[in-house]
Amino acid sequence: MYLSLPPSGGKLVQQDFHTQGACVSKLSLVDWSSNPTVCNVCPPGEKLAQQDFHSTIDRVSKLSLVHRNSNPCGVMGATASNCTTKANIKSKLNLERPNWFPLVGSGYEVLRLVKHFKFYHLMWAELMRRYGPIVGLRLGRDRVVIVSGLDAIREVYSKDQFDGRPDGFFFRIRSFDKRLGVVFTDGANWEIQRRFSVKTLKSLGMGRTGMVNSLEREAEEMIHHLRKLSRTQKVISMHNAFDISVLNAIWTLIAGKRFELDDKKLEWVMETIHKSFRVIDMSGGVLNQFPPIRYVLPDKSGFAPLLNLLSPLWKFLQGTIKCIQSKLDQPDNPDCFIASYLRELNNNERHSSFTNEQLLCLCLDLFQAGSETTSNTLGYGIAHMLHHPEIVQKIHQELDSVVGRYRLPLLSDRPYLPYTEAVLCEIQRISNIAPLAIAHRTVAPVQLGTYVIPKNTITLVSIYSLHMDKTYWGDPEAFRPERFLSEMGDKLITHEYFIPFGSGKRRCLGESLAKSSLFLFFTAFMHAFIVEPAEEGKLPELDGIDGITLSPSPYYVKLKERLI
């Protein structure tokens, strides 16, 4: 395998290639044979790569961002179905990109930087520092664009062409090789399923008084449980202490029941969810870029671990659905999302997208997304409080002044607790639980700034770039809740550079539930306890564990009840 220039000697002209309509300024051909333009014989070591590339060659023709107003400087084509192309493209706006290599694209550079920076979002931040707010690269067979900065991110969230979701092996493995659920899908079926989900969840109380009452009762149960633990255990695992309480908040809506907080089976289920988010990063990793690698490196590619984690979750959800279905017509069967969906399945006039597999994937979406980010945020939050006892003191003063010592905080107290709310905002900003949000996909060619992004380009939005923007925040590395308060300190203020739940049409489905859960569980905990490190002087690490989301590193604490 080698790189060769077109017959024009490096100056690309239309006659060199078949017309594909892509405007580029520098291009080389990657050849599988000894002929620079025709691929006939492939060396044995390249056969594996061709198996999965054969069906995607048509998409390879548009490898990069192109300047909308530039005159065509060349046209790129492929002369045979087993030939692929390479472009390390510099546009008229001088937009640089990482080095590009055959087969792996920019994968080598990405892995090298990840090894150095340890976290994917820091690696993407380094690429954007080098090449600008819009970085285009190819990872295996995937064309990827990383977007940072307020202007570019606003443009992505405001244009319907960016509202797609990636369609690849990693995104289908969790949904029976189909595009199911509402998190990793798009199009007409997604709109129908999302509309049903939103309508059903609202009818069950999400965002209304019924949900608030349920969350407040769950906060009481959580405090009661932690008090018992604090009296019997010297130290408590804090990074996952909120897991089942957070899960109950969404599970009550999904299945109409809650779990006991000492349920060992559920502790295992929640740990399985956490692990499933750590196997691969938001781009889909090498498993999405080179699916055949799962046959050669099942463990290192993430395929075997992911399948081992998904299987028990599927089994758990299938058992729950079967139980509710068996009692669907009984009066004691609780009204819930699963029951509502099963009734829709029995409707002869239902849309064809309503299936048993669809229900399972919807539950998996709600189950995972509804618990992972909120639980991680709370785990990070208490870790930050251990680092800032002066902030804890201010929270205690505000809670005692507004709530008193004879009851737990209620959601109705929220407007009167601006400092505590500001602390929660600062926890979300600095922790960056979802530094890249969920990946988008262009469903049509679309202009971004002065560039045209081709169809089917994976688009990663760096929320981290907004939350840690030094020009805007001044001291983004500092934990300073006052940045979310008015000058008088009595009102919470909003920031356009703060979007922990995303924006646009694909904004987080459970935002209202997540915000209410964060407030009630955090304030209840801070109201009830004084928290200290398990070992004096040893504070928890704040870097966390990388994956689709960031998870807090394991840490332990001593809990002391606050006296009335």
Give per-residue pLDDT as tens, 236-255.
999 999 999 998 999 999 99
What residue ranges of the chain have pLDDT lower than 70?
A: 1-97, 99, 282-283, 564
Give per-residue pLDDT as tens, 76-103.
333 333 333 333 333 333 344 676 777 7
Please state, in angstroms and as integers, the Cα–Cα distance from residue 164 to each residue in 409, 438, 460, following that order.
40, 11, 12
CA–CA gap between residue 29 and residue 76 (Å, rounded): 9
**pLDDT given at position 451:** 87
CA–CA gap between residue 269 and residue 247 (Å, rounded): 10
Domain formed by 187-561, architecture: Orthogonal Bundle (1.10)
pTM over 0.75: yes
Domain regions of the chain by residue span: 1-94, 187-561
Please state, in angstroms and as integers, the Cα–Cα distance from residue 308 to each residue in 138, 173, 278, 312, following that order.
29, 12, 13, 7
**pLDDT given at position 152:** 96
**pLDDT given at position 142:** 85
Cβ atoms 424, 518 nearer than 8 A: yes
Which residues, including other chains, have CB under 8 Å from residue 136's CB and lie 6 or more apart? Answer: 64, 65, 89, 95, 97, 143, 144, 145
**pLDDT given at position 507:** 87
